[in-house]
Amino acid sequence: MEQIQTIEIPIAGMDCTECTQHVQKAIASVSGVQKVDVFLSSEKAIVQMNPSLVKMTDIRTAVKNAGYSVATKEEETKTPNVALADFSRRMFTAFGLAFGAVIIIVVLGEWLGLLDNLTQLIPFPVGVAFVLLGGAPIFLNVIRATLNKQIIAHTLMSIGAIAALVVGEWTTAMVVIFFMHIGSYTERLTAEGARRAVKDLTAMAPQTARIEKDSAEKEIPITEVQLDDIVIVRPGEKIPVDGEVIAGHAAVDQSSVTGEAMPVEAGIGSQVRGATILKQGTLKVRTQAVGAQSMFGRVIKMVEEAEAHRADVQQFADKFSAYYLPVVASIAALTFLFSRDPLATAAVLLVACSCSIALATPIAMLATIGMNAKHGVLIKGGKYIEMLARADVLLIDKTGTLTLGKPVVTDIIALNGMDESALLSRAASADRYSEHPLADALRRSAHERGLVLSEITNFESHTGKGIQATVDGKNVFVGKSAHAIPEQAKEFEAQGKTVLYVSMDDTLVGVIAVSDTLRNEVPDALREAKRLGIKKIELLTGDNERTASSVAGALNISYHADLMPEDKIRIVKEYQSQGYIVVMAGDGINDAPALAQANVGIAMKAGTDIAIEAAHITLLREDWMLIPQVIAAAQRTMRVVKGNLGFTAAYNIVGLALAAFGFLPPMLAAALQSIPDLGILGNSARLLKNQ
């Protein structure tokens, strides 16, 4: 059995999604590579390979031949050479920009009739030298790509510049070079916007930790922290690890991970997360996870890898880009064939801008993924944003999803001279050592009322019936009734509540109703989901008919009760077979299959690891309003994507037509080719403000 290894490789020099495609193809061509994903946002490649067949030098060579580079520790230490190379590149760019600016002034002067004779003073060979020097970095990339049988966006622009030189228009060629540099800068600016979300998240991760060892404190790099190390955190500091509090009490700001605005209390036994901030108090935390294994590390990883799950519209754009450049070249050839006008032919090549098509989708998707991660919503990829924007059915689990997941006392009826507090105190005391969730509900309710529990003796548990114990000399029974049932108790049962009957020395002294209550924000969240276009909302639960009917009735939605996990999958498939886009929200192991089957599975924060792994979106905060919020964000994103694609398509069609019929001179065509990139950047930037 062959061994497969997964490695991460930093890639330098990528400016747009076209670049990621070139790097991906280059690495995939190496024999022994099983799978490769290249991410523009985090500037890296994740490669699955057979280490016995693939050497790092093979991958490095493939990336270099594609026109990019792989950074190594050895190269990182050679800062003088790197600095020199960077200085040279900047000098070439500055040279091109400076002379481009001069030429623009010259040409404008000529158009105005002010500098008719100036360009004639510069010999043509000198003008050609200006073009070659200013365009050297771009021309080298085009040559390298051509040798690797690749066509890049600058290929056509370079041909246009050469065409301008051939017809003696060196000033036009110089302006082309100028705007090629402007275009490159715009693409880098746009790509940097895509990377910002990941960089912002990564910057929030703590770099050091203060550990306690041998009764002394020592600050060490986060990479050296081990499991079970005791970490000390003081006010204002970031908690560097995931772990359990073993000493201290503090208020913790979790907004960096969950998006919660209000700090939460943390004391002995509490779980805390890395990258959260201690507002007040001091904690000692036993390390349970650190770095990439921590919750924050997993958040960063999910945001980085979300880029690999491309939306259908993004895949379309990628495929379109692959065919677009040859089509433009064909239009240019036809223009020359019918018009015999080299300037019109050059203008066709210059106005084309394939990068804008490639950028139209991923920039918007990455902006949405990054901003939602900051607000406590992890989205695993662009295709789930696209699906969520079109969703029309929402299926919901009950326990832990619609409800809090733990029963609470909702009603108390005291009988035969017993008051409510005494009744609850006796029942909770009798149940004080029981591990049943209903007993926990009684104890919590008594604690909230400030009641003191009594010591008990003769505790007995009767499976399926209840418990009994001696409390303050009285024989107390809590469970099913052996007496006549009061009418109010029947009403509680009809509402789907669990009714506990409390007897003392064989006399019924009260009734306590317990229920797993709905989350407060659920009704408003469901109404908002319907407003956003969700046509049908349905409860899927393993609870009995009576409980399901009660919960669904309170929310005015339909339901299915007594379901097994396979039943939930069946219902999801039934809706999908009818053409619906299905969203499933759940939190338990029994929900995992349905979450995976749904077009979009949403896991709640308190859910099991299996459910979170199966889901496509994870809510890091227990707030149901996040669901309509992420639906609205998805719909906004798709409107932006469609706007980007529509604008780019219209712009290129009009530009190509004007250039082909001679209405767009080469110089103006070169100047206009950067506008779509700027338009996409500006339009997509709205997502960073609205979410």
- What are the residue numbers of the active site? 397
Reference 634, options 576, 680, 691; nearest CA is 691
- Backbone phi, psi, residue 312, to 5°: -60, -40
Please name the residues in contact with 340: beta carbons below 8 A apart, sequence gap of 6 or more.
none
Residue 462 burial (10 A CB sphere; 0-12, 13-18, 19+): exposed
447-452-457-459 Cα dihedral, nearest 10 degrees? -20
Output the 3-class SS for 549-586: HHHHHHHCCEEECCCCHHHHHHHHHHHHHCCCCEEEEE
Residue 174 near residue 100, CB atoms below 8 Å = yes
Query: DSSP labels for 401-468?
Result: IIB-SS-EEEEEEE-TT--HHHHHHHHHHHTTT--SHHHHHHHHHHHHTTPPPPPEEEEEEETTTEEE
DSSP state of 399: I
Could you tell me how far CA 394 lies from the centroid of its own chain? Answer: 21
Tokens standing for residue 671: 């100047």
Please name the residues in contact with 324: beta carbons below 8 A apart, sequence gap of 6 or more.
352, 354, 357
Residue 489 near residue 413, CB atoms below 8 Å = yes
End-to-end CA distance of the chain: 48
Residue 559 near residue 543, CB atoms below 8 Å = no
Q: Determine the Cα–Cα distance for residues 133 and 96; give it in Å rounded to an integer.
A: 7
Sheet with 393-396, strands from edge to edge, namely 377-379, 617-619, 600-603, 582-586, 393-396, 536-540, 558-560
The number of residues in the chain equals 691
- CA distances to 175, 341, 342, 410, 484 from 157, rounded to whole Å, are 11, 17, 14, 73, 90
Output the 3-class SS for 634-670: HHHHHHHHHHHHHHHHHHHHHHHHHHHCCCCCHHHHH
- Backbone phi, psi, residue 581, to 5°: -95, 115
Query: DSSP labels for 356-372?
Result: HHHHTTHHHHHHHHHHH
Please name the residues in contact with 396: beta carbons below 8 A apart, sequence gap of 6 or more.
402, 537, 538, 539, 540, 557, 584, 585, 586
Residue 411 near residue 512, CB atoms below 8 Å = yes
Say which amino acid occupies 429: S
Query: DSSP labels for 266-319?
Result: E-TT-EE-TT-EEEEEEEEEEEEE-GGGSHHHHHHHHHHHGGGS--HHHHHHHH
Q: Determine the Cα–Cα distance for residues 687 and 317; give it in Å rounded to an integer.
A: 20
Helix-then-strand count for the chain, H and E = 26, 24
- Backbone phi, psi, residue 214, to 5°: 55, 45
Say which amino acid occupies 129: A
Percent helix, strand, coil in the chain, to 5, is: 55, 20, 25
Q: From the CB of residue 295, how many other CB atoms can be counted at a distance below 10 Å?
A: 17
